[in-house]
Amino acid sequence: MGWVRLPSQPVEILIAVSILVSAAHASRPLFPGREAWIAAGFGLVHGLAFASTLVNLQLDAGPMALSILGFNLGIEFMQLLIIGLTIPWLMLLSCTPAYRFVRLTGAFLATVAAIAWVVERISGEPNFLTKGVEQVATYAPYGLGILALVALLLTWRLKQENQQPVL
């Protein structure tokens, strides 16, 4: 609608910073009880980037509305799919002592990726970390499989240790 116009570079930097803040929050809650507000703010920032892309397409109102609808449905579907495939294993792990290690390792890796993206967006040049993140991302399905396997094994082991012999 043209109400807000910002140069793309600051918006892209803010998106990378939002990922950095989210990673830090996973390590230690920065905004306890205010996560919904923070997520809404981050959503607006991410929406600015999408809106600027759509404006450049110069679509009429009908195709613009369909593009927005299609994009949002696609994003929401993928987020639900990823959550549906990941959360059960994290919930299992949360009952084990290994969960803290997994959570902090994930937060650390997300922090490294976010810092790399901030640097890339400020400099306008890819760096070795962003290239590494892209390569590692291709192995995400294997990482999910390993997460599931570790969650099942550790949960099974914990259950075995807690069972008392019946006399």
- Please give the radius of gyration of the chain, using alpha carbons only, rounded to the nearest integer: 20
Label residue 87 exposed, middle or buried (CB < 10 Å: 0-12, 13-18, 19+).
exposed
- The DSSP letter of residue 110 is H
Per-residue pLDDT reduced to its tens digit, 10-48? 888 999 999 999 999 999 989 899 999 998 998 888 888
| Whole-number pLDDT of residue 44 | 86
pLDDT along the chain (167 residues), means of 10: 73 92 91 90 84 78 84 90 95 92 93 94 90 92 95 92 63
Q: DSSP string covering 28-60, please? A: S-SSTT-HHHHHHHHHHHHHHHHHHHHHHHT--
Residue 38's contacts (CB-CB under 8 Å, 6 or more residues apart) are: 21, 25, 31
| Whole-number pLDDT of residue 72 | 83
